[in-house]
Amino acid sequence: MTTNATSAPPTYMTAKGFTLTAGFWMTVATFMGLLGATELIAPDLTENIGWVVFGRVRPIHVNLVLFGFVTPGLLAAAFYYLPRILRTELFSEMLGVVTVVLWNLVLIGVVVTLAAGYTQGREYAEMIWPVDMGVVLIFSLVLINFLMTVVRRKEPMLYVSVWYACAGIVLTATTFSLGNVIWRPDTGALVGIPDAILLWFYGHNVFGLLLTPLAAGVAYYVIPRACKTPLYSHTLSLLGFWSLIVVYTHIGTHHLLQVPVPTWLKVISIVDSVAMVIPVMAFLINIWYTAKGRLGEIHNDIGAKFVFTGTIMYFFVSIQGSIMALPQVQRITHFNNWVVAHAHVGVLGFAGMISLGGLYYILPRITNKPLFSRFLADFQYWMILIGVVGFTVVLTIAGLIQGNAWYNGETIYRVLPEIHMYYITRASIGLLVFSSAVLGLYNIIRTLYFNPGEKLS
Amino acid sequence: MKMTPVAVVLGSLLILGAIVFMVVYVPYATYDETPSEIFRERTAEEAAGRKLYIANGCVYCHSQSIRTIDWGMGAERIAQAGDYVQDQPILLGSQRTGVDLSQEGGEHPDDWHMAHFINPRYTRPLSIMPAFAYLGDDLEILTRYVQGLGFKQADRRMDRQRYWKKEAIRAYEAGVEANARWLNIDIVPEGWRNIPNPYPTTAAGLARGRKIYQDFCLGCHGPVGDGMGPAQPWIYPPPYNFTILKNRTISGGILYYHIMNGITGSAMPYFKRELESQKIWEVGNFVAVYFINQSDANAAPRGIDSAWEP
């Protein structure tokens, strides 16, 4: 997979732009998380500052993590690996750079509108209509660039990473429009119970059809490359890809098992949640067997190390997710911090780790210089690993306390002091993760622009 | 299988289309829009308040979805699909950092909500809810929305609140004597008035009572029990001053009854969901000993000593 010798060397402007985007917005997103966590232990710290009230900070945190940090990071890697896998140039670096600029404008729009209280009030679909339009536009621009690059490819075979990158963007552009009810600009919502069903169909697909495919695409590229070995199985790639799209899209209603929605729909969501084992294990077996006996190679590349750790987190979050979809389990786990722990394993542990892994894998290759500091990247790796495990332990304990107390007749107010200590620990871990984001941004900027390292051959 | 761009893009979209039809469109098309028996249309003010509820992200901590397994606020009525037929968007919520609000309407009078919105710790010392004083005049509109939650059931509770608010104000404005008589004789069933506090006033029991007082009562009744807690400026009739009650034959039973049942119409909530019997008796003892300076703890008439008594 070498670039065509007759053309100018690629500039990777788009990949660099998305790298910076992810690095920068990770600091903002994690700061918002830290701020929200702090407000839960000291609610009067920001007393009467409306635009940072907890109810506005939380959606800013969630949306920035999803669309500001994780997705741009995964896209940076995709904009690097697509031309290489397809043995061609990116269709248009110019279009890519325009996309990056628009992407950042949309993110500023997200922060400003949500902080000012302009929201549709639907989890993961908070953005108001003009911002929704911006999101659809930037996803469409990415799609054009991806598909045109595919069309102009010189490599006849499509590698699995290409399937995931293209499908992830196509399906997200579609489900985002659907889930945000963009044909009703004033409310962005349906009425009554169908609104909840559509919302959670879409909400869960942010993970299922955006973060997971893009992260899988990066893992399918980085792990075989780092291990210098072919992928273990083409058949498993096919199974994992198609079963992901079939199964993941069925499960959104497992968020509504305790709500009056049709029972048959609940049954579908539970059965398919358990069936998620199929796409998850098809992907993981493929990746893990590719890496079998080559963990040393993975350890040598900080990018691959992040990515591989992300796949382990994917195992935990997915198995946990299947178990959490069981109604008996939800009696305890629903409505409390157990679910918040689950979300952090998934988005920071799995997709976030792979997003950072993709960045650190491509950075030396797009700058043709070593990372500014492997030590800082390693340090960030451990901060995030400790952070994710810490969030998981602390929030799971808090969730179990809440869920068991409520189920046995204790009121919410009485349980608040019982989880206070865990909220303090969680905020401390939030400080750790925010600090890691600042370190990461510094490392990225130094690597891209102020890198004293020697040129690689 | 050969993966072509067409297979990837169109194949994915076709699968997605089929599944959207099944798990989104079919439930949408077969949804029964019959309102439930408690349903009514929201007033214009309530609808405006709901917009404030959305704009300030209340939905991230408050669910509106009572389950079959719930015990807390609103748990007298399990949610039905017909409760949500005018909700666009629906606000079920996904977390309960605060209480479920499906049936919040009429649980408290308006003045309690005002004090609570100004700073939730004024009425609920352990609360971690943000202060919403920055909403200014909009707090009145937000209160209208909250007081309508539960629809017809909320309206019945609000009628009850308004009736007893008038009674409570009449008694308060009739003077200290008349108010004390109304509070401690007129509205307390005879049986309760005659029951002394069956828990002896031990140092340990008083320490427990003090903790309950700090966590539940202090915001209104204040650190010295004179009714001058931080919520006081917003509440009318104002929180009760316990220090005037000496020699007015305040039995443990009277205190228990009010703490358990609340005084509907006034800002005094009921605590029977949150505090078990021993906690209510012991906070009563704490109030009697420290603020009234007169306690009937463990006095006659009394039955057999409980096995745990020293």
pLDDT digits (tens, 9 = 90+) for A353-365: 999 999 999 999 9
User: Is the domain of B104 the same as that of B198?
Assistant: no
A407 touches chain B (CB under 8 A): yes
| pLDDT at residue number A241 | 97
In a domain, B253, yes or no: yes
How far away is chain B from the Cα of A391, in angstroms, using its nearest Cα?
17
| pLDDT at residue number A430 | 98
Q: How far apart are the C-alpha atoms of A406 and A335, rounded to whole Å?
A: 10
Residue B61, token pair as written in the block: 């901590």
Q: Which CATH class is domain A13-446?
A: mainly alpha
List pLDDT tens digits, range B44-100.
Answer: 999 999 999 999 999 999 999 999 999 999 999 999 999 999 999 999 999 999 999
| pLDDT at residue number A183 | 95
Give which of A70, A89, A81, A98 is closest to A14, Cα–Cα: A98
Q: How far apart are the C-alpha atoms of B192 and A312, rounded to whole Å?
A: 62
A158 touches chain B (CB under 8 A): yes
Cβ-based contacts of B211 with chain A (< 8 Å): none
A344 touches chain B (CB under 8 A): no
| pLDDT at residue number B2 | 86
Q: Which residue has the higher pLDDT, B302 or A74?
A: A74
Write the DSSP symbol of residue A456. P
> How many structural domains comprise chain B?
2
| pLDDT at residue number A2 | 46
Cβ-based contacts of B67 with chain A (< 8 Å): 258, 334
Verify whether the Cβ–Cβ distance B89 to A195 is below 8 Å.
yes
Confidence of residue B300 (pLDDT cuts 50, 70, 90): confident
In a domain, B2, yes or no: no
Judged against a pLDDT cut of 90, whether residue A259 lies above it is answered with: yes
Give which of A411, A276, A401 is closest to A338, Cα–Cα: A401
Judged against a pLDDT cut of 90, whether residue A116 lies above it is answered with: yes
In a domain, B96, yes or no: yes
Q: How far apart are the C-alpha atoms of B194 and B189, rounded to whole Å?
A: 9
User: Is the domain of B183 the same as that of B269?
Assistant: yes
Best residue of A148, A335, A336 to probe chain B, by most B CBs closer than 10 Å: A335
Single-letter residue type at A441: L
Judged against a pLDDT cut of 70, whether residue A145 lies above it is answered with: yes
Verify whether the Cβ–Cβ distance B8 to A158 is below 8 Å.
yes
Cβ-based contacts of B5 with chain A (< 8 Å): 147, 150-151, 158, 166
Coil, helix or strand at residue A345 = helix
Show the DSSP H helices in A276-411 as ranges: 277-291, 295-300, 302-324, 327-333, 337-344, 353-367, 374-407
Residues with Cβ within 8 Å of residue A5, at least 6 apart in sequence = none
How far away is chain A from the Cα of B56, in angstroms, using its nearest Cα?
5
User: Is the domain of B288 the same as that of B183?
Assistant: yes
| pLDDT at residue number A1 | 43
| pLDDT at residue number B104 | 97
Residue of B nearest to A184 (CA): B88
User: Is the domain of B193 the same as that of B238?
Assistant: yes
Judged against a pLDDT cut of 80, whether residue A3 lies above it is answered with: no
What CATH number does residue B96 fall under? 1.10.760.10
In a domain, B32, yes or no: no
Residues spanned by the domain of B73: 44-150
Judged against a pLDDT cut of 70, whether residue B276 lies above it is answered with: yes
- Per-residue pLDDT, averaged over B273-302, amounts to 94
Confidence of residue B272 (pLDDT cuts 50, 70, 90): very high
Confidence of residue A161 (pLDDT cuts 50, 70, 90): very high
User: Is the domain of B215 the same as that of B145?
Assistant: no
Whether the ω angle into residue B301 lies within 30 degrees of 0, i.e. cis, is yes
A174 touches chain B (CB under 8 A): yes
Closest Cβ–Cβ partner in A46, A158, A336 for B95? A336
| pLDDT at residue number B310 | 72
How far away is chain A from the Cα of B68, in angstroms, using its nearest Cα?
8
Confidence of residue A33 (pLDDT cuts 50, 70, 90): very high
User: Is the domain of B143 the same as that of B188?
Assistant: no
A52 touches chain B (CB under 8 A): no
Cβ-based contacts of B129 with chain A (< 8 Å): 43
Residue B34, token pair as written in the block: 């019959």
In a domain, B248, yes or no: yes
* Whether the Cβ atoms of residue A349 and residue A381 lie closer than 8 Å to each other: no
Instruction: Give, in order, the Cα–Cα distances in Å from A197 to each of A192, A202, A211, A269.
Output: 9, 9, 21, 11
| pLDDT at residue number A205 | 95
List pLDDT tens digits, range A163-222.
Answer: 999 999 999 999 999 999 999 999 999 999 999 999 999 999 999 999 999 999 999 999
| pLDDT at residue number A438 | 98
Confidence of residue B194 (pLDDT cuts 50, 70, 90): very high
| pLDDT at residue number B210 | 98
- For chains A and B, count residue pairs whose Cβ atoms are closer than 8 Å: 232
How far away is chain A from the Cα of B107, in angstroms, using its nearest Cα?
15
In a domain, B269, yes or no: yes
User: Is the domain of B52 the same as that of B127?
Assistant: yes
Confidence of residue B309 (pLDDT cuts 50, 70, 90): confident
User: Is the domain of B187 the same as that of B115?
Assistant: no
In a domain, B236, yes or no: yes
In a domain, B14, yes or no: no
List pLDDT tens digits, range A355-398.
Answer: 999 999 999 999 999 999 999 999 999 999 999 999 999 999 99
Q: How far apart are the C-alpha atoms of A256 and A7, rounded to whole Å?
A: 54
| pLDDT at residue number B304 | 86
Q: What is the CA radius of gyration of chain B?
A: 25
Judged against a pLDDT cut of 50, whether residue A341 lies above it is answered with: yes
* Whether the Cβ atoms of residue B229 and residue B239 lie closer than 8 Å to each other: yes
| pLDDT at residue number B164 | 98
User: Is the domain of B196 the same as that of B107?
Assistant: no
Judged against a pLDDT cut of 60, whether residue A4 lies above it is answered with: no
Residue of B nearest to A234 (CA): B1
| pLDDT at residue number A7 | 64
Mean pLDDT score of chain A? 96
A198 touches chain B (CB under 8 A): yes
Verify whether the Cβ–Cβ distance A55 to B56 is below 8 Å.
yes
- Per-residue pLDDT, averaged over A257-264, amounts to 96
Residue B246, token pair as written in the block: 């000496």
Closest Cβ–Cβ partner in A201, A411, A416 for B23? A201
